[in-house]
Amino acid sequence: MKERIERLKKLTNIPHKEIVWLIEQAELAVKQREIIEENKRQQEVTVHQFRQAQKDIQHLSGDRKRYKQALEKIITNLNFAITVAQNELEGDVK
């Protein structure tokens, strides 16, 4: 695109106003293309971050499930220990 701009600058048979307008349009097109490319790049980064966040959530959900199961086992063991201790106390009281 920049080569075309330079060629337009060298043309002499086109009125100056039209050359200026064409150059401005070409430069605008180049800027728009750069903006579109940057937006695509940012979109790719965002998609990558989103997918990584999904993986993290799945991992944390798995951890949560394992912690919950471990906590349930601890509670069961504590309830059993309390029951045993209560039975021993009742045996000592009688």
Distance between CA atoms of residues 3 and 26, nearest Å: 10
**Percent with pLDDT over 70 in the chain:** 90
* Number of domains forming the structure of the chain: 1
Reported confidence tier of residue 7, pLDDT bands at 50, 70, 90: confident
- Asked if pLDDT for residue 14 goes beyond 80, the answer is no
What is the average pLDDT across 16-33? 89
Distance between CA atoms of residues 67 and 57, nearest Å: 15
- Would you mind telling me the total number of residues written for the chain in this entry? 94
Tens of pLDDT, residue by residue over 46-88, are: 999 999 999 999 998 888 889 999 999 999 999 999 999 998 8
Find the domain containing 85 and state its range: 2-93
DSSP secondary structure letter of residue 14: S
